[in-house]
């Protein structure tokens, strides 16, 4: 999730437990080999055996359209200790798609095959290469050829966001395609899309037949969703008393490690996401969203959190 799940958010979420694995924001690959500085910017966990402080493995996600540059960048990430390489063929953003990345590749399964094959050959056999796709760009039937391409290329697992690029994020997610894909490939399959709570997970499990799941937006809206999914806490909307203590630490980490302008925008972004599941978060967001100057924002945020 580009522009959302950076290392600070990964740290915040994985400390709460329940997450088996996470990925970086996508690193855009054109014809150039990124420096180690760039990889550490996106994945500072590379300094810690590619794990968050809580010990959760972090895969480096790459996005691009050319096999050779992607392979070279994957090799460098693996050499730096990446827990795995994740290839993004699912991003629906128009800017990304116009520049030969993300879901636009789903129009040509042979290109998916060549990319996966090149990356698989470039990294050690012990380094997983995972692939994420959508059902297709505009035709869900494309999922079959793209799944076969990922398997033939040597992918370790395949995550399917159960909508097309044309669908965007419009509900519902079409989990019913997962059993059809399973008839075509032997790859471990991971279901993704519209899993917000335990009830959604159980419906997805029943419909998709999957026992592996990827959660994106649901984790930003409810940081405790993984505890919910594992049955570690009551199946309910996140309590404000649980969520509220996370916000000052998140803001402080963004300020300390980036800058106060970044902290202001990212905290607003997170509060907006939290607002979809929590009324108190919505009230807090409504109260601070108009503050643009970092010091004024911080002062109002602290005042409201203490009230």
Which residues are designated catalytic?
91
Cα–Cα distance between 94 and 261 in angstroms, integer?
Answer: 27
Tell me the H-state helices in 80-216: 94-98, 109-122, 142-153, 177-182, 198-208
Tokens of 177: 């395609």
Examine residue 289 and say whether the peptide bond preceding it is cis (omega within 30 degrees of 0).
no
Cα–Cα distance between 121 and 112 in angstroms, integer?
Answer: 14
Q: Give the distance, in angstroms, between the CA of residue 217 and the centroid of all CA atoms in the same chain.
A: 8
CB 189 within 8 A of CB 169: no
Which candidate, 169, 9, 44, places its Cα nearest to that of 103?
169
* Burial environment of residue 248 by CB neighbours within 10 A (0 to 12, 13 to 18, 19 or more): middle
Residues listed for the chain: 307
Q: Which residues of 111-132 are buried (b: 16+ CB within 10 A; e: fewer)?
A: bbbbbbbbbbebbeeebbbbbb
CB 165 within 8 A of CB 106: yes
């Amino acid at each position: 999730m580009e522009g959302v799940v950076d290392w600070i958010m990964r740290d915040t979420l994985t400390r709460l437990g329940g997450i088996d694995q996470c990925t970086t924001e996508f690193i855009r690959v054109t014809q150039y080999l990124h420096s180690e500085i760039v990889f550490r910017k996106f994945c500072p966990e590379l300094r810690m055996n590619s794990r968050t402080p809580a010990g959760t493995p972090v895969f480096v996600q790459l996005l691009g359209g050319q096999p050779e540059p992607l392979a070279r960048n994957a090799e460098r990430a693996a050499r730096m200790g990446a827990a795995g390489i994740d290839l993004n063929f699912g991003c629906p953003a128009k800017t990304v798609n116009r520049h030969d990345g993300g879901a636009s590749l789903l129009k040509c399964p042979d290109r998916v095959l060549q990319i996966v094959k090149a990356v698989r050959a470039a990294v050690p056999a012990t380094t997983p290469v995972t692939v994420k796709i959508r059902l297709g760009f505009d035709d869900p039937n494309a999922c079959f050829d793209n799944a076969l391409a990922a398997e033939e290329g040597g992918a370790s697992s395949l995550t399917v966001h159960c909508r097309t690029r044309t669908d965007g994020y419009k509900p519902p997610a079409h989990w019913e395609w997962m059993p059809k894909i399973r008839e075509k490939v032997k790859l471990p399959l991971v279901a993704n899309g519209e899993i917000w709570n335990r009830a959604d997970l159980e419906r997805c499990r029943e419909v998709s037949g999957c026992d592996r799941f990827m959660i994106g937006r649901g984790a930003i809206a409810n940081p405790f969703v993984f505890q919910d999914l594992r049955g570690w806490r009551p199946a309910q909307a996140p309590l404000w008393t649980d969520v509220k203590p996370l916000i000052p630490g998140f803001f402080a980490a963004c300020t300390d490690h980036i800058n106060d302008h970044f902290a202001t925008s990212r905290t607003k972004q997170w509060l907006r996401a939290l607002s979809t599941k929590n009324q108190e978060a919505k009230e807090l967001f409504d109260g601070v969203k108009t503050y643009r100057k970092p010091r004024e924002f911080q002062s109002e945020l602290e005042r409201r959190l203490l009230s």
